[in-house]
Chain A
């Protein structure tokens, strides 16, 4: 498959859709449709998960209600299988907590005219020393 020239727009569009679902507790369950039952991988704060079911178990168990999110940058690259690699840098504030910086990386895998999330890695940008 060829490189997808629209990778930049796909990256930006995907990120805004993904967080629109994620940040609304009533919509969060819709994220399930973006993952594959078997071939999606997620690493959430070092915890490794495979398949939409396990990933959704993790995401719906998060205890916050409100999320304030500010995206600092979305960097995308086309992949040789027609997919898109996306790296997000941002800050999020859960409920009344202070805002934390985070980084999230996605690999979108093409299926027909659409994509699913093949890889998803999330980390809060917390360091181990001052």
Chain B
């Protein structure tokens, strides 16, 4: 059980992509042996938690990462939309050996635009199963070009070998932390109003800054 004193930031990421691209395996690779997953049947979402230390301006911040997995509901094209809204970053995966999963990336981005907390949230695109070189149908060049057009970073991962698994999640964390810092900076500039009130947009009540609303800790289920 994590109490309010155990971390400085609670960050939620949602793993997206067609079924079979390896979302759960990537998550498993990233958190294996450290924390068990919890499946919440009412919302049909599985989540894992990992605590990481993050250096920002020479200070180390303790971050509680909640990693949300869609647990098969994407097969039915039904996704609990509140999880889009509450996520601060998205890891969008496709399978390098499956053309359709690559083509479907656009559809997932459309979904994100509609349901996420803003139109251009932080996303990292992952071409997974990079270890299956002989089965690969999406070349690195083609994937990079697509990612460039979409304006999102691209990483090739392998849940099997662990290649770039941490890298991709850390990259997403960098993006989210940078965005938060920008918002905090902006919030601090004009007035001396309490930080929390200004940082939290109505739809984004998941950034719990230190010493902010203590009651909300109890809502955190990690």
> Hey, which bits of chain A sit against chain B, CB under 8 A?
44-47, 62-64, 94-95, 97-101, 123-124, 126-130
A97 and B20 contact, Cβ closer than 8 Å, known pairs A62-B76, A126-B78: no
| Size of the chain B interface, CB-CB below 8 angstroms | 21
- Considering the chains assembled together, what is the distance between the CA atoms of A44 and B71 in angstroms? 19
CA distance A118 to B42 in the complex (A): 30
Main secondary structure of the interface of B (DSSP, over half): loop
B101 to chain A, nearest CB (A): 10
Q: Which residues of B contact A (CB under 8 A)?
A: 18-20, 39-44, 46, 71-73, 75-78, 80-82, 221
Q: Are B78 and A130 in contact (CB under 8 A)?
A: no
Q: Is the interface of A mostly helix, strand, loop or mixed?
A: loop
B75 pairs with A98, CB closer than 8 A: no
**Tally of A-B Cβ pairs under 8 angstroms:** 58
Q: Which residues of B contact A47 (CB under 8 A)?
A: 77
A45-B78, A62-B75 given; 7 more Cβ-contact pairs under 8 Å: A100-B73, A123-B78, A124-B76, A124-B78, A126-B73, A128-B43, A128-B80
Within 8 Å CB of A123, what residues of B?
A: 78
The answer to whether A45 touches B42 (Cβ under 8 A) is: no
Q: Give 14 CB contacts A-B under 8 Å.
A: A45-B77, A46-B78, A64-B72, A95-B72, A97-B72, A98-B44, A98-B71, A98-B72, A100-B41, A124-B78, A126-B44, A128-B82, A129-B82, A130-B221
